[in-house]
Structure 1
Amino acid sequence: MTHKDVQMNLSIYRVIIFFIFSLSIFTVTKAHALEEDHPAVSRYKDSMLENSGVIHYKKILVPVSVVPGTEDTKLIEVIGKITAHGYSLKKNKSTLEVGLNYKQVVEKLGAELLVDCVGVLCGYQPLYFYWQSWANYNSSVADDNDDNTRFLVAKQPTEKGDVYYQWIITDVYDGEIGIEQTIVEPEALLLDQVSVNRNISIQAEQTGLKADREDTEGSQDHPVISRYQGAYITDYRQREFEKVYIPTGVAINDVTPTITVEGKGTTIGYNLSNSQSTLQIYKNYLTALKAADFEILFTCSLASCGHDLLDDLYTSEANKFRFHPVKTNNYPDSDFRFISAKLTVSGKNIFLLVAIEGALTSNDINKIVVDIVEQSEMSTARVTIDPQYLNDEIEQKGRVVLHGLNFAFNKSELLPSSTASLTAITEYLELHPKQQFYVVGHTDNVGTYEINTQLSKARAQNVIKELTALKVEASRLIAIGVGPAAPKAANNSDANKENNRRVELVLR
């Protein structure tokens, strides 16, 4: 094989890869098969339908010219309805005879023949990647390639736009011909498949905990946004208060720019028929969110999302499967799309994430996850302290954890929600005026030792400052910050880290 032959083979090889892979998520299972031929082109006489499928509003690359022996292959992007049929013909026909019949179809359609290659002119094993696609899973129509394989592409101008036709004609077995026909027709985007309720009210008060919230039998759409029509819920999770990272851009040096939001979180996973392309799903969500005055923070599609977007955000055990059933290890060549958005209602913020993963094969299904965070402060009503509790702990242990002292994330200032606990501590100290204490701040192990030690001491100092303002004598209290040096539990889970972040009163 000459150098020119190699270059020509690589050129055609790329054409086949681009075009075939773009068709790899058709609905071709029997449950969704198209039992009829395409209305524009009948099946070859006496051929049998082996597989079929359709996908709407899909973007693909179409080869429109090939120069054998060179890399001068021109590709164009086309968006539209894609219909595929696979036929087998057992009448001792040749690929030459079948190919000439389809070339006659091109003439009858008034179409322009763009690509017509045979055998080695189509490159070495041009159907290799075709074997990895849906056709390989559903039929044996085009499972081989030899010198007789024909590849045809044609374009037909219409009032609504150009229609593209593709035929791959192969010798499957002795005396049996395989025909794969693909037709791309111009199609308008189907919108209004997702609705948004902009007038939802956000509850400032935390609601009571309920059991079995992760059970899909008790799942429901979030009132702020509907499901995509035809989708069904497979996964459901709701938490009264959690921390969520909202992506605002593509990762740089493996660091994804984010906004940290705390509040009530709801995560809903959906499955949707693969007859809908991820482009159409994405456009519907984006259009609905913009129409409801959501601020779009970040969007990405396919390779532009980068590697492991979701996995980079949710690596902790608690959030490991947050976006299930969408895979977190989205690769740059995955059919993956993502949206993050924000809406402010009555002074409160709603953050919304949509992750979409396209079906990988004909037997797969589209997966959508909608993640909603209603920003709020954590309710401390469930953990309270009183003077008697403080007395019992100090008598038994010589120290007590001061529950209900709440700080802003990575800050030393106490939040207003700490008032009830500060009042209880003051009452205890008034009842025991001769006792003196260390006020000891603790952190988890996230961050450097130096920063955590400084933060823990600053928090202890602010606790003393607040108690002094409530008429507690400052000389009775000494602030100490030990950072991560004295954890209550191993820092191997979010729950343990939360327990390690605390302030204690230690008798001296």
Structure 2
Amino acid sequence: MFSTILRGIIFFISSLAILGAQQAYASKEDHPAVSRYEGATIKNTGVIHYQKISVPVNVMPGTEDTELIEVIGKITAHGYRLEGNKSTLEVGLNYKQVIEKLGAELLIDCVDKLCGYQPLDFYWQSWANYNSLIADDNDDETRFLVAKRATDKGDIYYQWIITNVYDGIIGIEQTIIEPEALLLDQVTVNSNITISAVQTPLRAEKEDIDGSQDHPVISRYQGAYISDYRQREFEKVFIPTGVAVNQVAPVITVEGKGTTIGYNLSNSQSTLQIYQNYLSALKAADFEILYTCNLAACGNALLDDLYSSEANQYRFNPVETNNDSDSDFRFISAKLTTSSNPIFLLVAIEGALTSNGINKIVVDIVEKSEMNTAKVTIDPEYLNDEITQKGRVVLHGLNFDFNQAKLLASSKASLTAITQYLAQHPQQRFYVVGHTDNVGSYEINTQLSKARAQTVIEELIKLKVDKSRLTPIGIGPVSPKIANSSDANKAENRRVELVLQ
């Protein structure tokens, strides 16, 4: 059987690493309720808090029907290796004695086919078995035990898989699920802060990457460290408000200062616990929750569908953007209305893929604002040089309302410089030529570009420029400076020029 052969190969390769790590695992402790089998050694162990797991409570021999219940709690998994020519029957009877001593109820005691077809499939897909190579569900003598013990704090479930994994070697996988309350207050939010345009200096911890820091609005999850960080003074950010349909996610588009922080966190905290902490903290700080989803309900590739440009290819590191439907993925988007401008925030959480892996968190924050458009200006000398050399000049610093022909107040300095140049060259006549990007129809863009050229002329007339010297032309998207392949390129193509007649 192919799967049996494959497991044998994997076991052989992994046994080399296991032998090298034996001393490290020797210091690991057994679960306080159940000791290891006499003579057994620990090969792998893991603990995760407040995790959801499917527990089998009944099997139907000869069928694929396994009755499962979902349990949330603290999961402690141990993988033991036992040498000494023991049988799965002998080891199994010893663990049945354990169940009796615990005062637990035996739910399942079966061997191989009597457990049903592929009886352990659910186990191989669970968190407890990630990175484990102790048990083998292809062994004909694999014994499976499940028990439940009722306590005043809830039911405790015990699982043992006992198998011949190699010549003379017994593998024992033990999983214990104990009831556990959700640990909250691991994230704090400060909604009463004044957002500064300049970052405050960071007192970085050694685990954080250089130049990174938490955002003042929201803390890191306790115990996390920053692995990825970037901040942009002004950008366009998409905030998902629902699951993607045909690779298109419903979004709110926000422009402003963007901060994206990627965190790594020990897998001792389940994604459910991380998610609940962020959600509780945001609600307590009066954030409006726009959208939340968990696991398969998030759909496929929720984050991957937001951005297609190479510039944003790694925006959500370390979280994988192509979240499969069976990924341990959770998501929150939220909005905080402040006295100045609103703040939008999204949190993406990806669970550890193995029991030795790490949880990954991304917090993406945008503080809505208007772009500073006064960074590029012109003066009469610049206009003279460009017109002398090229016969045309781009009029930087002329800023319009979005999709409108109205000039913003920030255009005043450039209008003054143009007026001064025209006064110095009274014999020159010009076409005032408006250009647009390629968003929208040709007809609308052509009308808009001419309307903007006309607005510039009207403002110059108010500054005592002879209107007979200026002719408005609108050519829309037909003469771009650069390919309309990005937002930055499109912004450069939206312009007004003076062209010497």
Give 1:336's aligned amino acid.
Answer: F
1:125 is displaced (CA, Å) by 4.8
Measure the CA separation in 1 of the matches of 2:408 and 2:107: 69
Query: Offset of 1:80 from its aligned partner?
Result: 0.9
Counterpart contact for 1:264–1:373, Cα < 8 Å:
yes
Residue 146 of structure 1: aligned partner: 139
Residue in structure 1 matched with residue 71 of structure 2 by the alignment: 78
Report matched runs for 1:153-232 at 5 Å. Answer: 153-203=146-196, 207=198, 216-232=209-225
Q: CA deviation at 1:81?
A: 0.7
Task: Please point out which of 92, 97, 106 is paired with 1:99.
Answer: 92
Separation of aligned partners in 1, 2:88 and 2:443? 75
How far does residue 474 in structure 1 lie from its aligned partner after superposition? 4.8
The secondary structure found in structure 2 opposite 1:362 is: coil
Q: Deviations over 1:23-78 (max 9, x none)?
A: xxxxx999799711111111112211111000111112222222223454322221
The more displaced of 366-375 and 136-145 is 136-145
- Contact map agreement 2:135 2:172 (CA 8 A) in 1: yes
Cα distance, 1:190–1:432 mapped onto 2, change above 3 Å: same
1:293 maps onto 2:286 in alignment: yes
- Cα distance 1:31–1:175, how it changes in 2: closer, same or farther (>3 A)? closer
Question: Post-superposition shift, 1:372?
Answer: 1.3
The correspondence for 1:112, drawn from 90, 105, 110, is 105
Matches within 5 A, 1:208-357: 216-357=209-350
Write the letter of the residue equivalent to 2:221: Y
Per-residue deviation, 1:430: 4.5
Alignment correspondent of 1:52: 45
Letter paired with 1:229: Q
Question: Is 1:377 the counterpart of 2:370 in the alignment?
Answer: yes
| Matched position secondary structure for 2:72 | strand
Query: Secondary structure of 1:338's partner?
Result: strand
Residue range with higher mean Cα deviation, 387-396 or 421-430? 421-430
Q: Which of 401, 413, 435 is residue 394 of structure 2 equivalent to? A: 401
Identify which of 341, 356, 368 aligns with 1:363.
Answer: 356
Task: State whether residues 77 and 128 of structure 2, in contact with CA within 8 Å, keep that contact through their aligned partners in structure 1.
Answer: no
> Residues 391-430 of structure 1 correspond to what in structure 2 (within 5 A)?
391-430=384-423
Which of 36, 54, 62 is the matching residue for 1:61? 54
Tell me what 1:24 maps to. Answer: none
Partner Cα distance (1:278, 1:411) in 2: 46
Stretch deviating more after TM superposition (488-497 or 153-162): 488-497
Distance 1:311 1:169, change over 3 A: same
Partner SS for 1:280: helix
Call closer, same or farther: CA 1:301–1:136 in 2, change over 3 Å.
closer
* Sequence identity percentage: 78
Which range moved further: 125-134 or 187-196?
Answer: 125-134
Is the contact between residue 431 and residue 473 of structure 2 (CA under 8 Å) also seen in structure 1?
A: yes
Indicate how the Cα distance of structure 1 residues 379 and 77 shifts in structure 2: closer, same or farther if over 3 A, else same. same
Q: 1:367 to 1:31 in 2, by over 3 A?
A: farther
Separation in structure 2 between the aligned mates of residue 349 and residue 371 of structure 1, nearest angstrom: 14
CA-CA distance at 1:293 after TM superposition: 1.0
What is the CA-CA distance between 1:459 and the residue it aligns to?
3.5
1:65 and 1:466 mapped to 2: Cα distance?
A: 82
Task: Give the one of 17, 22, 28 matched to 1:35.
Answer: 28
CA contact (8 A) 2:63 2:116 kept: no
State the secondary structure of the residue aligned to 1:100. Answer: helix
Q: 1:208 Cα shift? A: 10
Structure 1: gaps spanning 5 or more residues? 1-27
Say if 1:318 and 1:493, in contact at 8 Å, map to a contact too.
Answer: no
Deviation at 1:133?
A: 7.7
Instruction: Give distance in 2, aligned partners of 1:32 and 1:270.
Output: 28
What is the letter of the counterpart of residue 121 of structure 1? L
Deviation at 1:421, TM superposition (A): 2.4
Q: Secondary structure at the match of 2:310?
A: coil
TM-score normalized with structure 2 length: 0.86
Conserved in 1, the CA contact under 8 Å of 2:238 and 2:251? yes
The 8 Å contact of residues 65 and 74 in structure 1, kept in 2 or not, is answered as yes
Match of 1:14 in 2: none
**Distance in structure 2 (CA, Å) of the matches to 1:367 and 1:128:** 26
Question: Hey, what's the Cα distance between the residues in 1 that align with 2:188 and 2:498?
Answer: 52
Deviates more, 1:469-478 or 1:301-310: 469-478
Matched, 1:442 2:424: no
- TM-superposition CA deviations, 1:444-491 (whole Å, max 9, x none): 344554554444344334434544555555554443333332222233
SS of aligned partner of 2:342: strand
* Contact preservation (8 Å) 2:25, 2:42: no
RMSD of the alignment, in Å?
A: 2.9
Deviation at 1:219, TM superposition (A): 1.2
C-alpha contact 2:136 2:142 (8 A) present in aligned 1: no
Alpha-carbon distance, 1:134 to partner = 7.8
Contact 1:127–1:145 (Cα < 8 Å) also in 2: no
Query: Counterpart amino acid of 2:54?
Result: L
CA distance in 2, matches of 1:30, 1:220: 38
Gaps of 5+ in 2: 1-20, 202-207
Whole-angstrom distance in 1 between the partners of 2:24 and 2:458: 70
2: distance between equivalents of 1:100 and 1:447?
Answer: 75
User: Does the CA-based 8 Å contact 1:265-1:371 persist in structure 2?
Assistant: yes
